[in-house]
Each structure stands twice: as C-alpha cells, then as structure tokens.
A = this chain, B = another copy of it.
C-alpha cells in the first residue's frame, strides 16, 4: 500500500455533482493524495461568478490552486501535475509506448464517450437550459447513438483484456468509469448484452477509489 501524502497548502475547487471533479478525486485516491476540497455550487452558478473566474477564466471545475497561488484547471492537467509530483502508483504509463497507448485510450474514451454523453446531457436535460445556450435538441439526440456505438466497441475490446488500456488500471479506466456512472443523467444505459463491459465496470467499481 502506498503511503498517503497530504498537501495542505493546496486547494481543489470542485463539485460533488459533476463528473470531471470525480475523475480527479478518484485519481488522487489511487495516488494516496489528500488535499483540502473547496465546494463550488454549480446550481447557483458560482463557477461563473467573479471570484471563481479570477481563478479559472474558463469557469469550470475542477480547478487546483497551488500554495503559490498558481491555478491549474482542466481535469487531465491536474492529474498530470500530480503524476509528475508523485509518480507512484503510475496511472499514465511508464515506457514511451505505454504512455502513448494510455493517452490514446484516455482520448478515445473522452472523445467518443464522455463528450457525446456530455453533449446529450447538456443539450437535452431541462436543468441545463440556463447553462447551455443555445440548447440544440437535434444535436443532443445525435450524440446518443455515438455513445452507444462506443460502448459496443469497448465491450469488444474488453473481451480481450482486463482494463481499458491494457492489463492494469490507468487514467483511461477512471475516465470510462466516471462517464458510465454519469450516463443515467443523459438517459443512456450500458446495454444488457455488453457482458465484458459490465464485468469490467463491476471490477473497477469495487476499488476503494471509486467512492471518492
């Protein structure tokens, strides 16, 4: 077991209700990293307010603030920062080839599953009408079959190996787990027949980090 490392001088601005902050929380749990969390109320549009916009002009959570005041936004950028700061356990690959393959799978999952799911959610869910302007319902609907096609593809891939990018857990599994758990808000479900994907989902959901 990796010893826990505490970074009390940093702050992670985040929300328990959004998928991207959960990606970072799981990543930190896997690394054994503890740091103060600061809640940002997305429902009250706190991320669009003046104070938060000074930290992250793109107005998104999660955003990490270092002890010297430097703000690092974007989920994967925050994860990369911690991978460099505390390399073990490794989550982005070790050899050049593995680093390339992990990044490839992390990108495949983002581009072909997370983004379609987010678009379906943001363009179709009534709760997002104020935050996604304009909501384009036709575009929201067009994303559902894209997400379903990728789930079928992922099921085929997982017939051949234990985890998304190979035989061990990496950041690509974190992106996939969080996206799949978030899908119900976009009213997309893992198909009953996707048994390899379901097996993988059970395995990664049982890791202690999944509760983060």
Residues of chain A having any CB pair with chain B under 8 Å: 57-58, 64, 66, 70, 72-74, 76-78, 80-82, 84-85, 95-97, 99-101, 103-104, 107-108, 111-112, 134, 136, 138-139, 142, 153
Contacts and interface: CB of A to CB of B under 8 A. Distances in A.
B99 A81 contact: yes
A74 B139 contact: no
Contacts of A58: 108, 112
Do most interface residues of chain A lie in helix, strand or loop, or is the interface mixed? helix
Identical subunits present? 2
Contacts of A73: 104, 108
A123 B152 CA distance: 25
A81 B92 CA distance: 11
A146 B39 CA distance: 27
Most-contacted residue by chain B among A66, A77, A78, A100 (CB, 10 A)? A100
Given A77-B100, A136-B136, 18 more contacts: A58-B112, A72-B97, A73-B104, A73-B108, A74-B104, A74-B111, A78-B100, A80-B100, A81-B103, A82-B96, A84-B95, A84-B99, A84-B100, A85-B96, A134-B138, A136-B142, A138-B138, A138-B139
A58 B142 CA distance: 18
Nearest to A132: B142
A62 to B, nearest CB: 11
Contacts of A139: 136, 138-139
A95 B66 CA distance: 14
Nearest to A57: B153
A103 B77 contact: yes
Contacts of A74: 103-104, 107-108, 111
Contacts of A66: 97
14 contacts: A57-B153, A66-B97, A70-B101, A72-B100, A72-B104, A77-B101, A78-B100, A80-B99, A81-B96, A81-B100, A84-B96, A84-B99, A136-B136, A136-B138
A191 to B, nearest CB: 18
